[in-house]
Amino acid sequence: MKKTSLLLLLAAQSVAMSVPVFAQEQAPVSIQVDLSKTKAPMKPIWAWFGYDEPNYTYMKDGKKLLTEISQLSKVPVYVRVHSLLVTGDGTAALKWGSTNAYTEDSNGNPIYDWTIVDKIFDTFIERGMKPIAQIGFMPEALSSRPKPYRHYWKPGDNYNDIYTGWAYPPNDYNKWAELVYQWVKHSVEKYGKKEVESWYWELWNEPNIGYWKGTTEEYIKMYDYSADAVKRALPSAKIGGPEVTGPAWDKSATFLKTFLDHVTKGKNYATGKTGSPIDFITYHAKGAPKVVNGHVQMNMGTQLRDLDKGFEIVASYPSLKKLPIIIGESDPEGCAACSEDLHPQNAYRNGTMYSSYTAASFARKYELAEARGVNLLGAVSWSFEFEDQAWFRGFRDLATNGVDKPVLNVFRMFGMMEGNRVEVNQNLAYDFKKVRDQSVRDAADINALASKSTNSAGVMVWNYHDDNVPAPDVPVEISIKGLPTGKVALLHYRIDKENSNAYEVWKTMGSPKQPTSEQISILEKAGQLQLLTSPEWITPKNGEAQIKMKLPRQGVSFLYFKW
């Protein structure tokens, strides 16, 4: 018997050793949402967009995308564009735009022509959108160094080639001020006082780098003249700045502080009084992707540190701390027109990495602002569309040739989030401080942002990682407390490889360079936000519901409850 038992035991061990060992499925990530615990209003900080090329605004695909952006939001979407005062014939090109708003006759007298500027703003206002009216760049006739003026930059060229005569200070500050005054005055006459009061007027873009070829003090002087002109034309207009980029960089922080010191206690160049009008504060925050071991590695921490440093600086000025802050550009990196084919670190842009990054980063913007006690009004996604370019070329855009990319569907999800932000438990792999300080390099960032209004609630759940490498789907269990009694409708939307993803569909077609009209129709449909499952009615027990799902890496789910 003993011998038999020993043989059986040895045989069992042999079988066990010959059977392959399968990895155990990952333990579920548990997320608790409590709709009854309000944190703060769910500000639509995401409803802000911008782009370099203003003349794309009224072109075919530009109009189509603006319509879609306006339709995804219940609140007016704000749009910021460059080059609204640049001299030229309105021809669109990468990193270039013009309106010919200001020229001079042979005697040096000003000629104002608002035709193209109005065409741009009309396109916004017809859709219920509103401009962040950027005062810039310098008209050729006013530039202190006008030649060369028009650039012909293309991807692959030196980026510094774009900084030509439009980037220089004015040769006459009084003429510049009169131009600003006439623009605001014209806008009031055309659109009405109430409409223009709802806009944001700002001066220039990134004056701490090549966009401004003057000194910090010359920018401040131009701000004084511009702000005075805006307020003379419409005292209730909102004016702000300085739109520096990267406040975590010491030179940028110094520029921002010098500007804020001036507007609070400096001598005004235009009026001689102390300080300058300022109704909101602007700066930029960017991430820094790179290619590591053959794959794209994002760096969300870099972007969040820029955000946080700017918040810290603003919070250090008691008289400015509660002013609205607009992050004039808030993106995973710094060059929308630098395509993937020449910049492989930008390969995140076509697929779901851009959408999961957007979900995870916007959620942390709320928390960073809250921690610093500042008033974050909006964060501009510097991403639009590039007219007549190759399909899915890898620009930082929301759509390609009129077909929406996965990232636009995150904004559709945000558009359904109303009311107040509510509590999501923070015993997960990352909180906003850890992402800010370390980015997402160890475990995946599986987390949620949740909101509740009178008769709806939304829970956005993401599975994000800085490294774009394959990983198993993760089981996620979400507990939602504070739902009403009775039946509640649940709609589960998803962005992943199979859902809300025109890019993957395009690849299955063979990546056609010129899709047929039938293929384009399929792609347009695939680019819309899609339900993962059919809508269903659920009955919460004691106001609580449990939702289980498997969430792919770089996937985003949106649970929308209606009652």
Please write the tens of the pLDDT for every residue from 46-61. Answer: 999 999 999 999 999 9
Q: How much is the CA Rg of the chain, to the nearest whole Å?
A: 26
Q: What is the pLDDT of residue 24?
A: 58
- pLDDT at residue 77 is higher than 80: yes
Token digits for 403? 């077909």
Token digits for 21? 């060992």
Residue 505, C-beta contacts closer than 8 angstroms, at least 6 positions apart? 522, 523, 526
Q: What is the mean pLDDT of residues 25-34?
A: 92
- pLDDT at residue 181 is higher than 80: yes
337 confidence band (pLDDT: 50, 70, 90): very high
- pLDDT at residue 22 is higher than 90: no
Residue with tokens 């449909």: 525
- pLDDT at residue 98 is higher than 80: yes
Residue 498, C-beta contacts closer than 8 angstroms, at least 6 positions apart? 504
323 confidence band (pLDDT: 50, 70, 90): very high
- pLDDT at residue 332 is higher than 90: yes
Q: What is the mean pLDDT of residues 368-375?
A: 98
Q: What is the pLDDT of residue 1?
A: 39
Token digits for 314? 């603003």
What tens digit of pLDDT does each residue of 411-470 get? 999 999 999 999 999 789 999 999 999 999 999 999 999 999 999 999 999 999 999 999
Q: What is the pLDDT of residue 26?
A: 80
What is the average pLDDT score of the chain? 95
What tens digit of pLDDT does each residue of 505-556 get? 999 999 999 999 999 999 999 999 999 999 999 999 999 999 999 999 999 9
Q: What is the DSSP string of 177-228?
A: HHHHHHHHHHHHHHH-HHHHHTSEEEE-S-TTTTT--S-HHHHHHHHHHHHH
Q: What is the pLDDT of residue 14?
A: 38
C-alpha–C-alpha distance, residues 231 and 351, integer Å: 45
C-alpha–C-alpha distance, residues 519 and 537, integer Å: 35
The residues facing 424 across adjacent strands are 33
| Percent of the chain predicted with pLDDT > 90 | 94
Token digits for 343? 């910049």
Q: What is the pLDDT of residue 427?
A: 82
User: Do the beta carbons of residue 183 and residue 102 sit within 8 Å?
Assistant: no
Q: What is the pLDDT of residue 3?
A: 40
Angle (nearest 5°) at CA 59 between 129 and 237: 30
Q: What is the pLDDT of residue 426?
A: 74
Q: What is the mean pLDDT of residues 315-329?
A: 98
Nearest to 338 by CA among 382, 293, 284: 382
Q: How many CB atoms lie within 10 A of CB 249?
A: 16
- pLDDT at residue 232 is higher than 90: yes
